[in-house]
Amino acid sequence: MLSARNLFQEILDEDESFRLFCSIAASGESQGGWENGRIAALVPESQRALAPKITRHGADEDKHGRIFHALLKKRGLQPVEVPHETDYTMLLEKHGIGLAHERLGRREPLSEHDIITYLAHSRVTEQRASEQMKLLRKHFADHPDLGRAVRMISNDEDNHLAYCHEELIRLALVGHGRTIQRVLRECALAEIRVYRDVSLAVMDHMGRILGWPRVKAAALTAGIHGIYAYERLLGWRRMVSLEPPERRDALGGPAAQAAESD
């Protein structure tokens, strides 16, 4: 039976597919950690109160990268080079979404519009991350090797999403509402295209590693295209709505520590 649980279990059980999965995840998280660290250092004076929260966000992302590397180490595996076509973070940047690495590499302070761009980009991508981790938590929260990591990362992603909602609402209330909605829509429509392309690329690599028959590969490809069609028509709207989160000041305290080597 072709299900999310069975698919991920198959990837988990084979060393080379697990190695690629963790390498892709660790790379994306590490890039997110670097980006947030640079943004925290360049926050404009008008938004300095955000700096500790952005720093916390980056620390969480770095922690997640270490967790995925630790999962590899526990199985005696080394990370592999991430194929370009599976690099979600860099492909988003290539499509003009978020703040470019070239901009973050300079020492010039960011503008308020840059902060809106960062938060809108994060609100969209953290929606995706939160949903993906909820799916993994549903099926693998009690897994002896993955369970603790899945629960911790899922909780962090929910915190990140709550933080983005809260800060974007705050900025909307002081006059940035139209800009926020425009940037959110642009980010969401670009993200669903990139997510489709990355999903197709990852499934292609996994299919070759695991020797999937053509029928199975075709079914997965059709499913990815079906998800994209739904998101292009209606699903993107969940990524642009703003609601007061149940978790208030979700990044206001110290980051939870992980025993990554467990």
For the cut 80, the answer to whether the pLDDT of residue 254 exceeds it is no
Token pair listed for 230: 């739904």
For the cut 70, the answer to whether the pLDDT of residue 214 exceeds it is yes
**How many whole angstroms separate alpha carbon 124 and alpha carbon 161?**
9
Whether 92 is covered by a domain: the verdict is yes
Whether 214 is covered by a domain: the verdict is yes
| Overall residue count recorded for the chain in this entry | 262
* Residues with Cβ within 8 Å of residue 164, at least 6 apart in sequence: 119, 122, 123, 126
Say which amino acid occupies 173: L
CA gyration radius, the chain: 18
Q: What distances in angstroms separate CA 160 from CA 73, 145, 157, one per listed residue?
A: 27, 24, 5
- Backbone phi, psi, residue 251, to 5°: -110, 25
Q: What is the pTM of this model?
A: 0.93
Whether 253 is covered by a domain: the verdict is no
Whether 158 is covered by a domain: the verdict is yes
Tell me the per-residue pLDDT of 45-63, one tens digit each, with 9 for 90 and over. 999 999 999 999 999 999 9
Quote the number of domains for the chain.
1
Tell me the per-residue pLDDT of 91-124, one tens digit each, with 9 for 90 and over. 999 998 999 999 999 999 999 999 999 999 999 9
Reference 106, options 154, 171, 185, 42; nearest CA is: 42
Whether 9 is covered by a domain: the verdict is no
Q: What is the pLDDT of residue 145?
A: 86
Q: What is the pLDDT of residue 262?
A: 41
For the cut 80, the answer to whether the pLDDT of residue 260 exceeds it is no
Contact 154, 134 (CB under 8 A): yes
Please indicate whether residue 31 or residue 257 has the higher confidence score (pLDDT): 31
Contact 126, 164 (CB under 8 A): yes
Domain that holds residue 199: 15-239
| Domain CATH number, residue 145 | 1.20.1260.10
Whether 106 is covered by a domain: the verdict is yes
